Structure 1
Amino acid sequence: MRLKRFFLIGCCLVMSTVTACGTPPANNAKNGGTAVTQNAATGNKELDTLIELAKKEGEVTIVGQAQTNREEMVKEFEKTYGIKVKYTGMRPSEATPKILAEQQQGKYLTDIMMEATQQLALQLYPNGASEDIRNYILPSTDITKDDTWYNGYETGYQMAENTGQYVYGVMDYPRVYVNNDVIEPGALKQPQDMLDPKWKGKIIIHNFARHAQGNTAMTALYLSEGQEFIEKLMKQEPMIVDDARQMVEWFAMGKFPIGVGVDTTTLNTFVKQGVIQKVGKLQPKISTVLHPLAIGVLKNPPHPNAAKLFVNWFLSKEGQTAFVQITTQYQSRRKDVEESPDPTIRRWATIDYKKSLQSKEADEVMKWVTELGKKAFTTPKK
């Protein structure tokens, strides 16, 4: 159903007269009538000039999350402009030292980094390894208009602590997963319910002694529920596991039916395989803590015009629609983009942004959580 739905959306986008970023209409019958006329003017002189320059470069190189749906998403840019995207799927924590090492050797091989907000902020930007994305956003498009975005245009920079990148989408936090094959739906309604003595010994947490999904989840719980909540949660004798797959296995099998810091990619695989049928989420009534998703341009991009064009396409209505509809796990900050087709992903009606997991406050909380994790994590019981 999701693919069918996206196909219909894609057809509508291609048939539109002019995109939010100025993409020309499709008007030839090749490839089933979905090809875009690459030489048609958009009506935006600044964008038209950029398109011609980008085509001369012919490609753009991007590093981002390893999920295959990211590769599916960037193909929409290829279809629109006929410019090749070389996408490398890699965890940001692995890509960052690689990029820094290359740049130290005078090698600038990558144009854009996506969904690496923390790495860009704490590693790349301070070391001068990334550019200021403001220089890559065309002022002649609707991207810079306040009413285009939830919480306004400038908030996209502020959510990343003004570290040269732009936050285009969000993942709501905190989210705790519940195995509803084992626990009846509605038995837990909000995070505070985890503190009920009957759930003692039934909670599993990904190792939060290091920067990974467990650390992020515990930091978000602290920001949302407070330090006292975290301290009481630890008295529930949770199982703390370093192996993300092992954690999901135990959660899916019902050994520990409440999971904090669950790897969603692995969990979705288990759901598709039928290992677990019903998965619920334990969240506050209103999510005030958000995990920001950002895009950044690396230092001395090898294809500066193609990189600039990609940034403007990606932040347009068309680019954000492709991102949300294909990845499904996030919400775009653009108001004119349809919300995620996944009904379990929070709507903007239940999001009231107050705190970012990229903020200085979150950084301090994360340090506290990490130290607690080092004390709490021991060799797991078999």
Structure 2
Amino acid sequence: MAKVAFVACLAGLIVPAHAEDASWDAVVSAAKKEGKVVVYNMTLGAPYFKDVLKSFESKYGISVESLDLRASELAERIRTEQAAGRFLGDVEMISSTMIEEQLQNGDYIQKLPQIPNTANLRAPFKAGEFSVPAFNQPMGILINTRMVKDDDIPKSWSDLNNPKWKGKILSDDMRPLGSGNAMFSILEKTMGSEFNEKLAEQKPVFSRDMRNDARRVARGEYPIYIPQIFAFTSDLKGLPVKVIIPKEGAPTAEMDLAVLKNAPHPNAARLFINHFLSVESQTIYANAWMLPVVGAAADHASPDAKAFVNAKLLGPAKLADRPAMMSLAKKLYP
């Protein structure tokens, strides 16, 4: 009798597949009744992100409201809204280090509910208690192919310190929070302190408009731009630019999805995250030269995207290193 009771107890812990499907069907139905999802993101107007939003709206009939800000602005927006009890956003898509910082400094996100497509994540990506990887954002070197001769194309990050490039490198500002400082931090660890010291002597010109900066290189204002997010180049096809992946690898930032605390459309938030982790959405990102977190999407990438999908990666930057790295960048670039 004891054995029968034990087996019956175990059976009670097993949720049949059809029950799980029914449960998710209820989430989809509730999301459609909510009719809207508000996504806070830092995609800087990326067309591939907009394509995912359109595919979500088309598939489920749920409208998406997108707030697109730089990382520091987005984090501050969430902090101030949550502190004021103004719960306006449903989902955030932000770097994993920012998620870590939010968990340390405030109660801004809730534990991640069941998201079926997390089962499709490829190693080393995995869902955490509060967030799930959305995609990986690698960064390389952008060159103007008319201004940089074949023999001068940088093959290593160290090649940026060739005297011929002094005053000719356009760069995202390395001092504040953002891609520039992430690159600075990762290369400080990878290449050693001498690398950043020499790069500072090259007098790079700082800017904070990453998409326009790539176009400035395409127009011939500068021969080189760093760090170039791979995907920001995918919409410059036909222009005289090329992304270089240095032999040491590409600094990277992992972007995560999380549900904000007291989300006004919680079911639509879950459905949106699940849709973002679908093979369809992840393939859109793979073909935009981002690194997808779903294995099947990497397999379906177009031929010209293959090199970027499987690029050697460095990083990401660590949250614990951020204060020291920002301080060092301000010292080298007063």
**So what's the TM-score if we normalise by structure 1?**
0.70
Alignment map for 1:35-54 (pairs within 5 Å): 44-54=21-31
1:312 aligns with 2:287: no
1:166 aligns with 2:132: yes
The residue aligned with 2:291 is 331
> Residue 115 of structure 1 contacts residue 294 of structure 1 at CA under 8 Å; is this kept in 2?
yes
Q: Give the unaligned 5+ runs of structure 2.
A: 1-16
User: Which segment drifts farther, 111-120 or 297-306?
Assistant: 111-120
Shift of 1:266: 8.3
State the identity %.
Answer: 25
Measure, in 2, the Cα distance between the counterparts of 1:238 and 1:100: 35
1:370 aligns with 2:331: no
Shift of 1:322: 4.0
Measure, in 2, the Cα distance between the counterparts of 1:281 and 1:206: 16
Alignment map for 1:245-260 (pairs within 5 Å): 251-252=217-218, 254=220, 256-260=222-226
The residue aligned with 1:149 is 121
Measure, in 2, the Cα distance between the counterparts of 1:112 and 1:102: 14
> Residue 169 of structure 1 contacts residue 333 of structure 1 at CA under 8 Å; is this kept in 2?
yes
Measure, in 2, the Cα distance between the counterparts of 1:68 and 1:243: 16
The two structures, once aligned, show a CA RMSD in angstroms of: 3.4
Measure, in 1, the Cα distance between the counterparts of 2:172 and 2:310: 29
Measure, in 1, the Cα distance between the counterparts of 2:289 and 2:257: 17
Shift of 1:97: 2.3
Closer/same/farther in 2, CA of residues 172 and 98 from structure 1, 3 Å limit: closer
Measure, in 2, the Cα distance between the counterparts of 1:305 and 1:243: 36
Measure, in 2, the Cα distance between the counterparts of 1:336 and 1:283: 23
Alignment map for 1:125-144 (pairs within 5 Å): 126-133=105-112, 135-137=113-115, 141=116, 143-144=118-119
Measure, in 2, the Cα distance between the counterparts of 1:150 and 1:286: 23
1:350 aligns with 2:316: no
Measure, in 2, the Cα distance between the counterparts of 1:253 and 1:71: 26
Closer/same/farther in 2, CA of residues 222 and 150 from structure 1, 3 Å limit: farther
Deviations 1:163-204 (A, max 9, x none): x2211311224x122222101135222212223333334333
Between Structure 1 and Structure 2, the one with more helix by share is 2
The residue aligned with 2:84 is 105
The residue aligned with 2:186 is 220
User: Which segment drifts farther, 175-184 or 192-201?
Assistant: 192-201
Measure, in 2, the Cα distance between the counterparts of 1:344 and 1:186: 25
Q: Which of residues 221, 226, 240 is equivalent to 2:205?
A: 240
Q: Which of residues 79, 88, 98 is equivalent to 1:119?
A: 98
Paired amino acid for 1:92 = A
1:192 aligns with 2:147: no
Closer/same/farther in 2, CA of residues 337 and 255 from structure 1, 3 Å limit: closer
1:182 aligns with 2:144: no
Measure, in 2, the Cα distance between the counterparts of 1:167 and 1:259: 27
Deviations 1:126-145 (A, max 9, x none): 31011122x242xxx4523x
> Residue 241 of structure 1 contacts residue 247 of structure 1 at CA under 8 Å; is this kept in 2?
no
Measure, in 2, the Cα distance between the counterparts of 1:129 and 1:209: 26
Q: Which of residues 3, 25, 33 is equivalent to 1:56?
A: 33
Shift of 1:249: 7.0
Q: Which of residues 24, 49, 73 is equivalent to 2:52?
A: 73
The residue aligned with 1:18 is none
Measure, in 1, the Cα distance between the counterparts of 2:262 and 2:123: 31
> Aligned pair count?
313
Q: Give the unaligned 5+ runs of structure 1.
A: 1-21, 23-40
Measure, in 2, the Cα distance between the counterparts of 1:201 and 1:68: 29
